[in-house]
Amino acid sequence: VKRIKCGGCGAIVADNAAFQAHCTEVEHDDDFTYECEQVELVLGEGDELPDGHVDLESEGVHAFYNALSSEALSLSMRCTLAPFELDGKRYPTLEAAITADAVADLPSSEQRAAAVLSAVRAQYASEAAEGSGLAAHLLATGDKLLACVDLNPWLGIQAGDGISTGENRLGKALMAVRDELRAARG
């Protein structure tokens, strides 16, 4: 886990904002120059992950990769097994709908998240999602957290240092649609 270490007293804080707060709250000597350095703390077995991070290998997580083959049955946005229509346009993949200019140009993160959710709903409501087994595949994940491993930190999660970071918006949309599918099937 990356943290900030105060050059004046050695205190370890979470991020730049915490370092600023630390500097105003803690009295340092007259030579203090507000210097800090980034340090890496190694988590041991049994240590808790920092808030907002996910262990991609835990039993309660179903991690999937957007880089999977487009022909494979997967939750990847590149899966071509369930083309669908959304707002009168036909999309071969979820990726095509999500990266369309109409979504990419939306001004806020919440508007883009709503557009991604609409696209996921449209894909999983399609006959192709039923016929290909894609909807059943989503339901088979049970109650696991769906973690989209992707280079885009808004769309998915990255785990470059073994500690996850990212908003996982695709994973969150898939979990919402999974709940809707489960409720509709009773």
pLDDT, one tens digit per residue, over 138-150 is 999 999 999 999 8
The pLDDT confidence band at residue 43, using thresholds 50, 70 and 90, is: low
DSSP 164: -
Q: State if pTM tops 0.85.
A: no
Sort residue 142 into left (φ over 0), alpha (ψ -120 to 50) or beta: left
Percent of the chain with pLDDT over 90: 45
pLDDT digits (tens, 9 = 90+) for 113-131: 999 999 999 999 999 999 9
Amino acid identity of residue 124, one-letter, is Y
The pLDDT confidence band at residue 160, using thresholds 50, 70 and 90, is: low
Q: At what angle do helices 169-185 and 109-125 cross, to 10 degrees?
A: 40
What does DSSP say about strands 12-13 and 2-6: parallel, antiparallel, or unpaired? antiparallel
Q: Please state, in angstroms and rounded to a whole number, the distance separating the CA atoms of residues 107 and 95.
A: 19
pLDDT digits (tens, 9 = 90+) for 68-98: 778 889 999 999 999 999 999 999 999 999 8
Q: What pLDDT is recorded for position 180?
A: 97
Q: Please state, in angstroms and rounded to a whole number, the distance separating the CA atoms of residues 163 and 2.
A: 9
What does DSSP say about strands 84-86 and 89-91: parallel, antiparallel, or unpaired? antiparallel
Structure tokens at 124: 């999983």
Percent of the chain with pLDDT over 70: 90
Q: What pLDDT is recorded for position 114?
A: 94
Q: Please, which residues have CB within 8 angstroms of residue 151's CB and are 6 or more apart in sequence?
A: 158
Q: Please state, in angstroms and rounded to a whole number, the distance separating the CA atoms of residues 24 and 171.
A: 39
Q: What pLDDT is recorded for position 168?
A: 92
